[in-house]
Structure 1
């Protein structure tokens, strides 16, 4: 599978109060809520634009997977994959940061 290049994403693109507006609807949401806001901003910077958009639509705007797929012009299954891979990548980044902090 070929991947398209991703543009650089900056934390300044996130709206003010990003963490306060996240809905709490499940275990992945709980994971995101528990994260430090500064670390989350840095982790979001490390994601590609497409992944970041999907995560923001889901966790900032509260969109359903179907709504995300329609907004991004992709299939529902592609939206699910994008969200899942994005959350996996965030977990990896936070695990690395936790190990670094413990060292």
Structure 2
């Protein structure tokens, strides 16, 4: 088989597994939303406010964690690209920081 055939087979298999994963996530989300709506309909207003505050805190934590992960990945890729071009940015930043300490 040629390289093109192997690439096409890989794309098709990856696409099918990706769609299966996305369908599973949507199914889990709909189950969670259904259960949450039934729970919220059975609780009082005070506990609903407490659950709302907890949900807001969790959303903020997830956003912070995801931004840290994305920042680390982007930083690693930029560092790799700069090192391929002969620029060692880590040593330069470290030497600047050590001058001020």
Structure number with higher relative contact order (C-alpha < 8 Å, ≥ 6 residues apart): 1
User: Radius of gyration: which is bigger?
Assistant: 2
Q: TM-score, normalised by structure 2?
A: 0.33
Larger relative helix fraction: 2
